[in-house]
Amino acid sequence: MPAPYTLSAWKKSNLLSPHPPNHPALGTEHVALTPVTRRTVLKTLGLSTASLLVGGCGPKLSLQQSVSPHLRLARVHVDQNRIIRTVVGLRPFRPGGFVVRSDRQDEKTVIHNYGHGGGGMTLSWGTAHLAMELAVETGKKACAVLGCGGVGLATARLMQRQGWQVTIYARDLPPRTTSNISGAQWSPSSVFDRGQTTGQFDEQYARALRLSYRYFQDLVGDYYGVRWVSNYILRDDPNVPPWWTGHVFPDLYPETKILPAGEHPFHTPYAFHFDTMFIEPPVYLNAMLRDFYQAGGKLEVKRFEDRRELAALSEPVLINCTGLGARDLFDDKELTPIKGQLTVLLPQGEVDYLLIHRGDYMFPRRDGILLGGTHERGEWSMEPDQEAIRRIVTGHKELFDQMRPPMI
């Protein structure tokens, strides 16, 4: 965890003013009204425009090199007439965390891999790996994967890599899965309630998180729609870090730093910065499905109303990746939905960072700018809430209207 930002640290890092924000020599009004311009940067660095354009004996320094990348962030254009859709999904949440375990049902082995809450995409390859290990122990070579979202597809692909014959049975296929509308920032969210997990789960969680972190790095690139991006969590107090720094694993969040006012373009005194991977579900899920077919996988659209229907399947091993569907199919009443709602704006190709401020967040995808969100535990309705749309749009408009324009 980085040390809290101090006055001495400010003196070393701030190039744009000889005084910290709210210093008596300036006053709050002076800080707020003095723009940072191209000329200001050049003067502070001891450079003139001519020195950047005319060759000389000294080293050449471009203006772009002199400006922090955190000050070059593009502003999101938020307006009601830029909305292209609103989407709703139900996160499959269990207070005690996800389930990965092996059971027997009649003559079949059932391996469960469900209940990831808001961390399904993040944890998908990790829990798929745990489920794969349990399947391999059976000594069989054919399985049925129930579900075709992020968790189901990762599980199916890992089983294929083990040389298994795999058939996916699913009610919904991409682009109609819950995974398609997930924010898909690589960071576990709403996976469990603190104090409700067991020691065994905590060990599974830690291992799954690290496994998934490594698997996703192998998928970075245009084909899978996975990339590294900067994240900014806005803060009034530098001593209040994101929740995960003391609970998950800080080493999985590189480039972690606290940016004071003057080093970021937002209205809050501080911005907590880190890098994560970011997955574009429409691209990623289609690529995964292509890989599955190319490896000889079979898929059947099928809805199971009762566990007894599973006995009719020919595969000796069933891997349950049904998400919220496991509540009824496998009688897990601990499963409960958490309704999430996103408003999507027209795409902005120049926006390539993630922003989180209190309950609001902005994730840019190629198919649109995602504005979130809602977190309604126990809510089953798939209908968009108009008041939530208004709140989300208004909150983000205020946030970006206060953002300083990028320095380029």
| CA atoms of 347 and 354, how far apart (whole Å) | 14
Q: What global pTM score does this model have?
A: 0.82
Longest Cα pair distance anywhere in the chain, in angstroms?
82
Nearest to 91 by CA among 123, 65, 129: 123
- Collapsing DSSP to helix, strand or coil, 399 comes out as helix
Question: What's the one-letter identity of residue 295?
Answer: A
Give domain status of residue 40, yes or no.
no
Give domain status of residue 160, yes or no.
yes
| CA atoms of 122 and 125, how far apart (whole Å) | 8
Q: Is 358 left (phi over 0), alpha (psi -120 to 50) or beta?
A: left
Higher-pLDDT residue of 307 and 162 is 162
Higher-pLDDT residue of 334 and 246 is 334
| pLDDT at res. 245 | 54
**388-400 residues labelled b (16+ CB within 10 A) or e (exposed):** bbeebbebbbebb
Q: Quick: pLDDT tens for 302-339.
A: 999 989 999 999 999 999 999 999 999 999 999 999 99
- Summarize the confidence of residues 98-105 as an average pLDDT: 96
Residue 299 has pLDDT above 90, yes or no: yes
Looking up residue 173, the CATH number of its domain turns out to be 3.40.50.720
Q: Quick: pLDDT tens for 184-209.
A: 999 988 899 989 999 999 999 999 99
Give domain status of residue 198, yes or no.
yes
Give domain status of residue 197, yes or no.
yes
Give domain status of residue 253, yes or no.
no
- The tokens for 370 are 């995602």
| CA atoms of 144 and 316, how far apart (whole Å) | 8
Residue 1 has pLDDT above 80, yes or no: no
Give domain status of residue 29, yes or no.
no
- Summarize the confidence of residues 80-84 as an average pLDDT: 97
**ω into 119 cis (within 30 of 0):** no
Higher-pLDDT residue of 34 and 395 is 395
Question: What's the one-letter identity of residue 23?
Answer: H
- Summarize the confidence of residues 160-181 as an average pLDDT: 96
Higher-pLDDT residue of 214 and 51 is 214
Range of the domain at 128: 95-221+280-334
Give domain status of residue 48, yes or no.
no
- Summarize the confidence of residues 161-183 as an average pLDDT: 96
Helices (H), 45-182: 49-53, 63-66, 120-136, 150-161
- Summarize the confidence of residues 286-301 as an average pLDDT: 98
Helices (H), 184-297: 199-217, 281-294
Computed over every residue of the chain, the mean pLDDT equals 85
| CA atoms of 149 and 122, how far apart (whole Å) | 12
**203-239 residues labelled b (16+ CB within 10 A) or e (exposed):** ebbeebbebbbebbeebeeeebbbeeebbbbbbeebe
| pLDDT at res. 247 | 53
User: Could you tell me the pLDDT band of residue 70, with boundaries at 50, 70 and 90?
Assistant: confident
- Contacts with 67 (C-beta within 8 Å, 6 or more apart), sequence order: 41, 407, 408
User: Could you tell me the pLDDT band of residue 67, with boundaries at 50, 70 and 90?
Assistant: low
Please give the DSSP secondary-structure letter assigned to residue 194.
Answer: T
How many domains does the chain contain in total? 1
| pLDDT at res. 241 | 66
Residue 8 has pLDDT above 60, yes or no: no
- Summarize the confidence of residues 60-70 as an average pLDDT: 56
Give domain status of residue 312, yes or no.
yes
| pLDDT at res. 243 | 60
Nearest to 182 by CA among 361, 383, 353: 361
| pLDDT at res. 266 | 95
Residue 47 has pLDDT above 80, yes or no: no
